[in-house]
């Protein structure tokens, strides 16, 4: 699966795109972390919840459940909200 990486997380991948595979969103994130150690912690917290500032979109539809089934050849877009004052 093609994964679009937000600019704030590109220090892990050194690229705007990465490849990862898995049957569920959780498995895709785990595979992404296997290939780019540390990136999953920036998106998923210790209670296995998606962090508040992260959004996942699969083929244009927002996914809020880590157990969501993933298409074999889809595109995952990770969006990270920025905050500050």
**Helix, strand, coil content of the chain in percent (nearest 5):** 25, 30, 45
Q: Which fold has domain 2-80?
A: Ubiquitin-like (UB roll) (3.10.20)
Domain locations in the chain as residue ranges: 2-80
Closest to 28 (Cα-Cα) out of 80, 52, 63: 63
Closest to 20 (Cα-Cα) out of 34, 38, 40: 34
Strand, coil or helix: 41: helix
Cα gap 85→74, rounded to integer Å: 36
For the stretch 13-47, pLDDT in tens is 999 999 999 999 999 999 999 999 999 999 999 99
CA angle 23, 70, 29 (to 5 degrees): 70
Which phi and psi angles does 40 have, rounded to 5°? -65, -40
| pTM score over 0.95 | no
Supply the pLDDT for residue 22. 96
């Amino acid at each position: 699966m093609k994964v679009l990486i937000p600019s704030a997380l590109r220090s892990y991948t050194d690229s705007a795109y990465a490849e990862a595979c898995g049957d569920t969103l959780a498995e895709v994130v785990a595979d992404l972390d296997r290939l780019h150690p540390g990136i999953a912690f920036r998106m998923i917290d210790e209670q296995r919840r998606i962090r508040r500032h992260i959004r996942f979109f699969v083929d244009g539809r927002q996914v809020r459940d880590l157990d969501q089934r993933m298409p074999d050849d889809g595109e995952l877009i990770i969006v990270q909200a920025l905050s500050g004052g």
